[in-house]
Amino acid sequence: MSKPVVAIVGRPNVGKSTLFNALAGEMISIVKDTPGVTRDRIYAEVSWLDKNFTLIDTGGIEPDSSDVILSQMRDQAQIAIDTADVIIFITDVRQGLVDSDSKVADMLRRSKKPVVLVVNKVDSFSKFMPDVYEFYNLGIGDPVPVSAASRLGIGDMLDEVVKYFPEHDSEEEEDERPRIAIVGKPNVGKSSIINKLLGKNRVIVSDIAGTTRDAIDTAIVHDGKEYVFIDTAGLRRKSKIKEELERYSIIRTVTAVERADIVLVVIDAVEGVTEQDAKIAGIAHERGKGVIIVVNKWDAIEKDNKTVKEYENKVRTVLSYMPYAEIMYVSAETGQRLPKLYDMIDMVIQNQNLRVATGVLNEIMTEAVAMQQPPSDKGKRLKLYYITQVSVKPPTFVIFVNDKELMHFSYTRYLENKIREAFGFKGTSLRFFVRERK
């Protein structure tokens, strides 16, 4: 299911990071067990009542002059318009309404995207409310007063935000076609892969019904079946600032991955696998999407009989958190092995949707426990009572035990390996939750 995307836009120092952190809370550490992925605060998962969404902070580095501020705000607003379902436009009651706020508000209004106008630093409603009314002049609706620092008004603000979410992900949910995001650093060959796959196939460049985002989706028919490719390469932004470019590229990746079933992580064979690749692949891993690692430009490197093995070792080392992902060596230039991608995509989709019967799972667990004794601490041994699969995409399991504290990460990993030995689950991460039953 694809989650709505909410983007925060606003001038420097209005409190974007403070609001972002207040909303993201502990959730910010979602990337903690993904080595190689730095904890940058660009995006986070947020839950409010029964709604979940991806929050994006479009703000980057601090500009130093006011004309730079305006152009940077326009860039931020454009990114938000391109990628978000709802935009939080944040202003500052203490600085009051300034000219660049009005200009950005005009831009947001023209985009017709849902905007929630937030006035921050209203630390005391009685003292600052009269100043809040001024923000009606922006013409983008009722200002919502908050104090991000003291978490005042945040609930009311979130109520306004979630009002704009679609009731059900109706049309996108009903769309049975596999959705495949092609992600990777600039110049690894993402567009070339799509173009080569398109070849002489019938082309439908489509606005997928039900999305409120401007996506560049391409439907390709292969063997009578339609696949929808989500390209992150198409939207190129001009910026001289490296940090800003990286931020944009992460935002594009997060929003594309969010909408996808399967993610093709494209790596440049000539350049080799890098930390930046690990960061990008980590986004797909965290979200539990199906993953295929595509090493492109395979035509362009010198090969002998050790090359594949050496490449595999390097990729497995840098992307060590996703041993489950298959690696394919392709060339968008010559088309080598590209048609095989479809079989791989089909297989990964099947695995993402695979359900294992509870009886079978418990047999595997019983056998695993007999082969390797569960850990114990201070004379108390872990007992595993029962395991059941509760959902798919990604396959998610709940294990009932006597004491959660005794369930070590390594023992969960051991059980995961046993389940994978039996069912493969190639291309998909598995999730485990441990619950206590007395």
120 lies in the site for ligand GDP, by CB under 6 A = yes
Least spacing, CB of residue 230 vs ligand GDP, in Å: 13
Return the number of the residue (7 or 14) whose C-beta is nearest ligand GDP.
14
9, 56, 118, 148: which one binds ligand GDP (CB under 6 A): 148
300 near ligand GDP, judged by CB under 6 A: yes
With contacts defined by CB under 6 A, name the span among 147-155, 205-213, 281-289, 370-378 that binds ligand GDP.
Answer: 147-155
The answer to the question of whether 234 is labelled as a binding residue is: yes
Residue 253 is a binding residue for ligand GDP (CB under 6 A): no
17 marked as binding residue:
yes
Q: Rounded CA gap, 271 and 45, in Å?
A: 32
- Note whether 123 binds ligand GDP by CB under 6 A: yes
Of 2, 6, 18, 86, the one binding ligand GDP (CB under 6 A) is 18
Footprint of ligand GDP on residues 221-250 (CB under 6 A)?
Answer: 233
Residue window 187-206: x/- pattern of binding to ligand GDP, with contact defined by CB under 6 A: xxxxxx--------------
Tell me whether residue 147 or residue 429 sits nearer to ligand GDP (CB atom).
147
From 115-123, 157-165, 253-261, 370-378, span contacting ligand GDP (CB under 6 A): 115-123
Please tell me whether residue 299 binds ligand GDP under the rule CB under 6 A. yes
Out of 3, 16, 252, 259, the residue judged to bind ligand GDP by CB under 6 A: 16
**CB of 13 or CB of 362, closer to ligand GDP:** 13
Q: How far is residue 438's CA from residue 121's CA, in Å, rounded to a whole number?
A: 47
Q: Which residues are annotated as a binding site for GTP?
A: 10-17, 57-61, 120-123, 184-191, 231-235, 296-299
